[in-house]
Amino acid sequence: MKKILFYARDPGAANCIIPVYEKVKKNKRFQTLLSGKDFALNLYKNENLPFLDIAKKIKIFNKKNVKEFLRNSKIDVVVSGVGSTDITDRIIGCVFLYPRSAAKKTRI
């Protein structure tokens, strides 16, 4: 079973990933984890969705800590809503873009 991490920080990104998250979580082939921080959390709460406040799990957002979080959480795929000025989504998202990224080293 593949484990998918959904991440958003701002409300616009959360509005984009929530419908995808809700559709995917119904599929028994996937285990889903909705995560976010800051503004997205309010939207998750309003929708009564279970979520992980990622800022409580990763205290300092850098590639090393993200790599450790992804490995320890056994994440196979990351779905990230981007568009904020915060770099968290870029650090998590970079796992698919750069050869030496956290995901590459984690074998995602």
From residue 18, alpha-carbon distances to 7, 21, 92, 100 in Å are 10, 5, 18, 29
pLDDT, tens digit (0-9, with 9 covering 90-100), for 27-58? 999 999 999 988 899 999 999 999 999 989 98
Cα gap 57→30, rounded to integer Å: 22
Q: Would 11 be classed as within a structural domain?
A: yes
Provide the whole-model pTM. Answer: 0.78
Closest by CA to 86, choosing from 10, 15, 28, 6, is: 10
Q: Is residue 61 part of a domain?
A: yes
Confidence at 96, pLDDT banded by 50, 70, 90: very low
Residue 26: which domain range?
2-99
In a domain, 29, yes or no: yes
Q: How many domains does the chain have?
A: 1
Separation in Å, CA 9 to CA 29, 55, 82, 91, 105: 26, 10, 8, 12, 24
Within a domain: 106:
no
- Does residue 107 sit within a domain? no
Q: Over 80: is that where the pLDDT of 87 sits?
A: no
- Neighbouring-strand partners of residue 6: 34, 79
Asked if the structure places residue 34 within a domain, the reply is yes
CATH of the domain at 95: 3.40.50.2000
Q: Is residue 32 part of a domain?
A: yes
82 in any annotated domain: yes
